[in-house]
Structure 1
Amino acid sequence: MLRACRRLFVTLLLVLFFTPLTQASDKSAQDSDGAPIDVVGKVVDHHELAVPWGYVPLPRIFLVDGGLSIYSSTESALNSGDFVEQEGAITPANGSEITLDLSITSHLMYVWFGLILTVWLTIAMARRYRQGVGRKTEPQGWFQNLFEIVFVFVRDDIAKTNIPDAKYKKFVPYLFTVFVGISFMNLFGLLPWGATATADVTVTAVLATFTFFITQWNGTKDHWEHVFWFPGVPGWMRIILTPIEIIGLFTKPFALAVRLFANMLSGKIMIICILGLIFIFADIFGSAAGIGMSFFAVPLTVALYVLKAFVGVLQAYIFTLLSAVFIGMAAEEHAHEEGVEAHA
Structure 2
Amino acid sequence: MIQAFRRLLVTALILFTVVPTIHATQESAQNSQEAESEQEMPIDVIGKVQDHHYLDVAGYHLYLPRILLVEGEWYVYSNTESAIESGEFTEKAGALVPADGRTMTMDFSITSHLMYFWFGVVLTLWLTIAMARKYKKGAGRKTEPQGWFQNLFEITFVFVRDDIAKTNIPEDKYEKFVPYLFAVFVAITFMNLFGLLPWGVTATADITVTGILAAFTFFLTQWNGSKDHWEHVFVFPGVPPLMRVILTPIEILGLFTKPLALAVRLFANMLSGKIMIICILGLIFIFTEFFGTIFGAGSSILVVPLTVALYVLKAFVGVLQAYIFTLLSAVFIGMAAEEHDHHEEGVEAHA
TM-score if structure 2 supplies the norm length? Answer: 0.87
Residue of structure 2 equivalent to 1:214: 220
Q: Aligned pair count?
A: 313
Residues 84 and 91 of structure 2 are in contact (CA less than 8 Å); yes or no, is this contact kept in structure 1? Answer: yes
The alpha carbon displacement at 1:236 in A equals: 1.3
Residues 240-259 of structure 1: matches in 2 within 5 Å? 240-259=246-265
Check whether the contact 1:222–1:333 (CA below 8 A) recurs between aligned residues. yes
Q: Is the 1:218–1:331 contact (alpha carbons within 8 Å) kept by the matching residues of 2?
A: yes
- Contact kept, 8 Å, 1:232 with 1:336, in 2: the verdict is no
Match in the other structure for 2:279: 273
Q: Does 1:61 align with 2:102?
A: no
- Cα distance change on mapping 1:103 and 1:184 into 2, 3 Å: same
1:235: which partner in 2? 241
Q: 1:297 offset after TM fit, Å? A: 1.1
CA RMSD of aligned residues (A): 1.5
1:314 counterpart = 2:320? yes
Shift of 1:207: 0.2
8 A contact 2:59–2:199 mirrored in 1: no
Q: Counterparts of 2:294 and 2:145 in 1: how far apart (Å)?
A: 54
* Aligned counterpart for 2:299 among listed residues 293, 296, 300: 293
In the TM superposition, residue 100 of structure 1 has moved relative to its aligned partner by: 0.5
Is there any run of 5+ residues in structure 2 with no aligned partner, and where? Answer: 1-34
The answer to whether residue 319 in structure 2 is matched with residue 325 in structure 1 is no
Unaligned runs of 5+ in 1: 1-28
CA separation in 2, counterparts of 1:30 and 1:244?
44
What is aligned with 1:45? 51
Match among 164, 167, 170 for residue 164 of structure 1: 170
2:180 is the alignment partner of 1:174: yes
CA distance in 1, matches of 2:139, 2:326: 28
Match of 1:34 among 20, 40, 57: 40
- Amino acid in the other structure paired with 1:59: P
SS across alignment from 1:70: strand
Q: How many angstroms does 1:240 deviate by?
A: 1.0
Q: What SS does structure 1 have at the residue aligned with 2:100?
A: coil
Task: Output one character per residue of 1:156-182: Cα deviation in whole Å (capped at 9) or x when no partner.
Answer: 000000000000000000000000000
* Per-residue deviation, 1:335: 2.6
TM normalised by structure 1 equals 0.88
Who is 1:187 aligned against? 193
Where 2:69 maps in the other structure, the secondary structure is: strand
Q: Counterpart in 2 of 1:11?
A: none
Q: Deviations over 1:65-104 (max 9, x none)?
A: 2111110101110111111112322211112231111000
* Counterpart secondary structure, 2:342: coil
Q: CA deviation at 1:153?
A: 0.1
- Counterpart position of 2:133: 127
3-state SS in 1 of match to 2:124: helix
2:160 equivalent in structure 1? 154
Please, which of 338, 342, 350 is the counterpart of residue 336 of structure 1? 342
Percent identity of the aligned residues? Answer: 75
Measured against aligned partners, the alpha-carbon deviations of 1:21-72 in whole angstroms (never above 9, x if no partner) come to xxxxxxxx97753211110000010000111251111000111121111101
Which of 188, 192, 202 is matched with 1:196 structurally?
A: 202
Separation in structure 2 between the aligned mates of residue 50 and residue 35 of structure 1, nearest angstrom: 20
Paired with 2:134 and 2:195, the residues of 1 have a C-alpha distance of 30
Q: Among residues 96, 99, 102, which one is paired with 2:102 in the alignment?
A: 96
Q: Secondary structure of 2:341's partner?
A: coil
Partner of residue 84, structure 2: 78
1:303 aligns with 2:309: yes
Q: Distance in 1 between matches of 2:251 and 2:231?
A: 11
Paired AA for residue 266 in structure 1? S
Is residue 223 of structure 1 aligned with residue 229 of structure 2?
yes
- Separation in structure 1 between the aligned mates of residue 317 and residue 111 of structure 2, nearest angstrom: 25
